[in-house]
Amino acid sequence: KEQFARVAVKNHYHGSLNPHAQYREVYSLEDVLTSPMVAEPLTRLMCSPIGDGAAAVVLCAADKAKQFTSKPVFVRASVLASGDDRQPGQPGITERAAQKAYEVAGVGPEDINVAEVHDASAPAELVIYEELGFCKPGEGGQLIDSKATYVDGPIPVNPSGGLISKGHPIGATGVAQIYEIFSQLRGEAGDRQVRNPKVGLTENGGGMVKGEAAALAMHILSV
Mean pLDDT of the chain: 95
- Domain with 211 in it: what CATH number? 3.40.47.10
The sign of the torsion formed by the CA atoms of 207, 167, 30, 133 equals positive
Q: What is the pLDDT of residue 160?
A: 98
CB-CB contact of 7 with 157 (8 Å):
no
Q: Please list, residue by residue across 134-153, b when 16 or more beta carbons sit within 10 angstroms of its beta carbon and e when fewer do.
A: bbeeeebbebbeeebbbbee
pLDDT in tens, 66-121: 899 999 999 999 999 988 777 777 788 999 999 999 999 999 999 999 999 999 99
Rounded to whole angstroms, how far apart are CA atoms 216 and 103? 17
In total, how many domains does the chain have?
A: 1
Query: Residue 51's domain spans which residues?
Result: 2-222
